[in-house]
Structure 1
Amino acid sequence: MIKILSFLGLLGTACFANEFENPDLTTSWVGLATLLIFVVGYYFIANEEKYHIDKSVPALFIGIFTFLMIAVYYGLNDLDIHLVHNEAERVILEIAEIFFFLFVAMTYIESLIDMGVFDSLKYSLISKGYTYRKLFWATGFLAFFISPIADNLTTALILSTVLITIDKNKKEFLVPGAINIVVAANAGGAWSPFGDITTLMAWTAGKGHFVDFLFLFPSSILGYLVTAFLLSRFVPRSKPEFDAKKELKPKMKEGAKEVIVLGVVTIACAVLSHQVLDFPAMWGMMFGLVLLKVHSFKLSKKFGKDHFNVFASMAKIENNTLMFFFGILAAVGALYFVGWLTLASIVYEPQHLGPTMSNIAVGFLSAVVDNVPVMSAILKANPDMDLSNWMLVTLTAGIGGSLISFGSAAGVGVMGKLKGIYTFSSHMKYAWTILLGYCVSIAIWYFQFEVLGLN
Structure 2
Amino acid sequence: MEHEAINLATTWVGWASLAVFVIAYYFIATEEKYEINKSKPALFAGTFMFMLIGIYYAINGLNPEAVHDELEHLILEISEIFFFLLVAMTFIETLLERGVFDLMKYKLVSKGYTYKKLFWLTGFLAFFISPVADNLTTALILSTVLFTIDKKNLAFLVPGAINIVVAANAGGAWSPFGDITTLMSWTAGKGEFVDFLFLFPASVVGWVVTAFLLSLSVPAGEPPFDGATEKKPIVLDGGMAVVYLGILTIVIAVLGHTFFHFPAMWGMMFGLAILKLYSFQLKRSGKNSFNIYVNMEKVENDTLLFFFGILSAVGALHFLGFLEYIHHLYDLVGPTASNVGVGFLSAIVDNVPVMSAILKASPQMDIAQWMLVTMTAGIGGSLISFGSAAGVGVMGKLRGIYTFGAHMKHSWTILVGYIISIIIWYVQFEIMGLY
The two structures have a TM-score, normalised by structure 1, of 0.84
Structure-2 change in CA distance of 1:324 and 1:193 (3 Å): closer
- 2:37 is equivalent to residue 54 of structure 1: yes
The CA distance in 1 between the partners of 2:216 and 2:56, in whole Å, is 54
Q: Which residue of 1 aligns with 2:378?
A: 398
Aligned to 1:38, the other structure's residue is in SS state helix
Structure-2 change in CA distance of 1:454 and 1:415 (3 Å): same
The CA distance in 2 between the partners of 1:36 and 1:296, in whole Å, is 48
Shift of 1:423: 5.7
Shift of 1:232: 2.9
Q: Which residue of 1 aligns with 2:319?
A: 337
Q: Is this contact kept in 1: 2:348–2:387, CA < 8 A?
A: yes
Q: Which residue of 2 aligns with 1:183?
A: 166
Aligned to 1:79, the other structure's residue is in SS state coil
Bigger shift: residues 124-133 or 176-185 = 176-185
Structure-2 change in CA distance of 1:203 and 1:89 (3 Å): closer
Q: Which residue of 2 aligns with 1:129?
A: 112
Shift of 1:241: 3.0
Aligned to 2:325, the other structure's residue is in SS state coil
Q: How many aligned positions are there?
A: 434
- 2:80 is equivalent to residue 97 of structure 1: yes
Which of 326, 334, 347 is the matching residue for 2:329? 347
Q: Which amino acid aligns with 1:135?
A: L
Aligned to 1:130, the other structure's residue is in SS state coil
Percent of aligned positions with the same letter in both sequences? Answer: 67
- 2:204 is equivalent to residue 221 of structure 1: yes
Bigger shift: residues 23-32 or 182-191 = 182-191
- 2:94 is equivalent to residue 114 of structure 1: no
After TM superposition, the structure 1 = structure 2 runs for residues 9-408 of structure 1, keeping only pairs within 5 Å, are 21-167=4-150, 172-193=155-176, 195-196=178-179, 198-199=181-182, 213-303=196-286, 307-349=289-331, 352-371=332-351, 374-375=354-355, 377-378=357-358, 381-408=361-388
Q: Which amino acid aligns with 1:395?
A: M
1:16-66 CA-to-partner distances (Å, cap 9, x unmatched) read xxx962111111111111111111111111111111111111111111211
The CA distance in 2 between the partners of 1:188 and 1:360, in whole Å, is 18
1:168-210 CA-to-partner distances (Å, cap 9, x unmatched) read 6655544433332232122223334554454466567776676
Q: Is this contact kept in 1: 2:347–2:388, CA < 8 A?
A: yes
Structure-2 change in CA distance of 1:322 and 1:197 (3 Å): closer
- Root-mean-square deviation over aligned CA pairs: 3.0
Q: Is this contact kept in 2: 1:118–1:161, CA < 8 A?
A: no
Q: Is this contact kept in 2: 1:71–1:81, CA < 8 A?
A: yes
The CA distance in 2 between the partners of 1:384 and 1:91, in whole Å, is 21
Bigger shift: residues 277-286 or 359-368 = 359-368
Flag structure 2 segments of 5+ consecutive residues without an equivalent. Answer: none
Shift of 1:129: 0.7
Q: Is this contact kept in 1: 2:384–2:407, CA < 8 A?
A: yes
The CA distance in 2 between the partners of 1:418 and 1:380, in whole Å, is 34
Q: Is this contact kept in 1: 2:87–2:272, CA < 8 A?
A: yes
The CA distance in 2 between the partners of 1:63 and 1:423, in whole Å, is 28
Shift of 1:68: 1.4
Shift of 1:246: 0.9
Q: Which residue of 2 aligns with 1:439?
A: 419
Larger relative contact order (C-alpha < 8 A, sep ≥ 6)?
1
Shift of 1:121: 0.8
Bigger shift: residues 420-429 or 339-348 = 420-429
1:155-177 CA-to-partner distances (Å, cap 9, x unmatched) read 44543453354456655544433
Structure-2 change in CA distance of 1:52 and 1:31 (3 Å): same
Q: Is this contact kept in 1: 2:143–2:394, CA < 8 A?
A: yes
The two structures have a TM-score, normalised by structure 2, of 0.88
Shift of 1:291: 1.6
Bigger shift: residues 38-47 or 165-174 = 165-174
Shift of 1:86: 2.1
Q: Is this contact kept in 1: 2:170–2:378, CA < 8 A?
A: yes
Q: Is this contact kept in 1: 2:315–2:360, CA < 8 A?
A: no
